[in-house]
Structure 1
């Protein structure tokens, strides 16, 4: 189905661009299958030039021709988008939302004839290392769920979850790249403070986090066990870990996830 599907995006922001990049790099779909709608003509021109896709400022025209319709707009404009698209979407179109906090119940109310799926991805999709979680609406088929999983697995990893878990997913992996970028930046600053050139410090920090994450995924070992492998008695790593614990880094990261989770829940309440 995916090789023939007309795939459209309503909203051409950063997440749409990340998903486009991941999709097209893998060859799962072709550029001529994709269309993006946005009110910003300059943004559309940028995406068209970068990906050789079709674009259109008229979202209704785009929706009318879609087999899979991604809602990739900001939460604050989604109600307006609903009013624009409701009568334009074909009954057989699969509607996939990546709008933070937008519930399946609200999606199914807006698109009563359609199958809907809710997804929380993150921006590393753009480099084939994304993490996405999907929750499936009551009318969506297993084939449709698998198609959406395949789309996101083509650019990283994807899992199926209960909708009640999506706010926590948003707080952890959806918002998580921001925490990771902050850590890379801070580690790079530390490298500079210790006497290393800036560019080298950034490379050292980023590759170190990438390698550590890959070890967790590929070995299946608990992160604490992998940490213990690095922290030899009286060594440099345990001295650094001690400084991190004293600075409250662990608590700060937990607080960050909980704050982002709460914000996702608050956004959901606005659409009720």
Structure 2
């Protein structure tokens, strides 16, 4: 299979590294410096051969897509499969701009750059069974792939897993600041908070028990953890905050999609 990757930023590079050596990978990104090993640079889209089993992965910024769509229509006419990881560009907009019904929309998150992400994907109605299998295989090097029942779910996915890493980073920053306010040197507070964050994530991955059970294992009745959790859960504070976060991000995702 030949893969044309448009956009070789952090996410595009991570995908390309997973494909190199197994597929012919051509990269179109005039702004990119050194490309991942095993890939080829395409200087113009006119140089691309409309080979059999051509898959085009759109990893550019959404605002750049419009300027490229017209040049991609010729490849769409040659029955290329399109897989988009652009935020906010719906299947309908992709199909209309490209003149193709073979379009798939995916939402990875930033840990995908180190192969530890998760991607949600949804296929246009006219995609073939083999199109979904192809996209699944291409996205898998960055982490698990889940397929959505309908495109409306992608706004909630964007809010939860797409934006989610930033929430965890921000909470860790808040814990470190609180630790410093409680009397720890700032650098030590950050080291403790950051390592606790990564260690807890690793434990949650290694131990398949429900998160509520892992939480109970840390929480002695009447102890310090219980006191901290009572503050977190007072007036349903943590649940109300999470609800507001997901609602706000999902609503913005819907706005961007028009």
Which residue matches 1:35?
Answer: 26
For CA contacts below 8 A with separation 6 or more, give which structure has more relative contact order: 1
| Alignment coverage as a number of residue pairs | 254
| Aligned counterparts, 1:156-235, within 5 A | 156-162=143-149, 163-193=151-181, 194-195=183-184, 198=187, 201-202=189-190, 204-216=192-204, 219-235=207-223
| Deviation string, structure 1 residues 12-55 (Cα, Å, up to 9, x no partner) | 3333234335x2xxxx5428722221232xxx11x42x545322
CA contact (8 A) 2:84 2:104 kept: yes
CA-atom RMSD, angstroms? 2.9
Cα pair distance change 1:73/1:229, threshold 3 Å: same
Cα distance between partner residues in 2 of 1:111 and 1:32: 24
CA contact (8 A) 2:50 2:78 kept: no
CA contact (8 A) 2:101 2:126 kept: yes
Which consecutive residues of structure 2, in runs of 5 or more, have no partner in the other structure?
A: none
State the SS of the aligned residue for 2:4.
strand
The TM-score with structure 1 as length reference comes to 0.79
Which residue matches 1:7?
Answer: 3
Give the one of 27, 37, 58 matched to 1:71.
58
| Aligned counterparts, 1:1-272, within 5 A | 5-21=1-17, 23=18, 29-30=20-21, 33-40=24-31, 44-45=32-33, 47-48=34-35, 51=37, 53-62=39-48, 64=50, 67-89=54-76, 91-113=78-100, 115-162=102-149, 163-193=151-181, 194-195=183-184, 198=187, 201-202=189-190, 204-216=192-204, 219-246=207-234, 248-269=237-258
Cα distance between partner residues in 2 of 1:268 and 1:132: 18
Cα distance between partner residues in 2 of 1:185 and 1:77: 33
| Deviation string, structure 1 residues 51-108 (Cα, Å, up to 9, x no partner) | 4532234244347568111111222232222123212445232100111121212222
Cα distance between partner residues in 1 of 2:246 and 2:131: 30
Cα pair distance change 1:63/1:185, threshold 3 Å: farther
Which consecutive residues of structure 1, in runs of 5 or more, have no partner in the other structure?
A: none
Cα distance between partner residues in 1 of 2:168 and 2:208: 21
The TM-score with structure 2 as length reference comes to 0.83
Deviation of 1:245 after TM superposition, in Å, equals 3.4
